[in-house]
Amino acid sequence: MRNVRPIRALGAAVTSLALIVAIQAAWTVASARPIQVTLRDGGIEPREIDVLQGATVDIVVRNAGTQIHNFVVPDFYVFTQNLQPGETVRVSFVPDKTGKFRYYSDRDGIPEAGMQGTMRVESQAGTTS
Ligand SMILES: [Cu+2]
């Protein structure tokens, strides 16, 4: 019966791992961690952000490029300052309308090539406009 103990230990390990995963999932939902946006020279990640109308959108914007960039969502009056390479800023707002809205990094008010994405705002009821 020497094999019994390792199998039991494995069972306990799997059980506790499942518990940790369950706790982490619950924690993620409860705390609504900020959305990470990364600015690169010529691109923004992610290309699409899905959020809910009436719920606070919390975004951490990091400039991972070598040039100065910013992050704007004009429809929701989000305009960060110019971010130096490596600089991070946190913005939050509450979308008051549903639909698809553009976000981008601009230079003199004009979106830079490739540096844009789409924010999709859905109603809390789950219907898309
Ligand atoms: Cu830029």
Task: Tell me the percentage of the chain whose pLDDT exceeds 70.
Answer: 72
Query: What pLDDT is stored for residue 15 in this prediction?
Result: 60
Ligand 1 centroid vs 108 CA: distance in angstroms? 10
Co-location of 76 and 113 in the same domain: yes
pLDDT at residue 28, rounded to an integer? 46
Residue 23 sits in the same domain as residue 41: no
Ligand 1 centroid to residue 107 C-alpha, Å: 7
Both 49 and 1 in one domain: the answer is no
**Rounded to 5°, angle at Cα 42 from 63 and 120:** 80
The reply to whether 60 and 97 lie within a common domain is yes
- Residues 27 and 68 both lie in one domain: no
Would you state the pLDDT for residue 17? 59
Residue 109 CA to ligand 1 center (angstroms) comes to: 11
- Is position 127 within any domain? no
For the residues 44-61, what does the mean pLDDT come to? 98
Distance from Cα 57 to the centre of ligand 1, integer Å: 21
Same domain, 66 and 96: yes
Distance 83 CA to ligand 1 centre (A): 9
Contacts of residue 88, Cβ cutoff 8 Å, sequence gap at least 6: 60, 61, 62, 63
pTM of the entire structure? 0.73
CATH number of domain containing 79: 2.60.40.420
Total tally of structural domains belonging to the chain = 2
State the distance from the centre of ligand 1 to the C-alpha of 78, rounded, in angstroms: 15
pLDDT per residue as tens digits for the range 82-101: 999 999 999 999 999 999 99
- Kindly give the distance from the C-alpha atom of residue 12 to the centroid of ligand 1, in angstroms, as a whole number: 50
Q: What distance in angstroms lies between residue 87's CA and the mean position of ligand 1's atoms?
A: 13
DSSP state for residue 66 in the 8-state scheme? S
78: pLDDT strictly greater than 60: yes
Q: How far is the CA of 96 from the centre of ligand 1 (A)?
A: 26
Domain with 16, as residue range(s), is 1-31
Same domain for 73 and 117, yes or no, is yes
List residues bridging with 90 in a β-sheet.
60
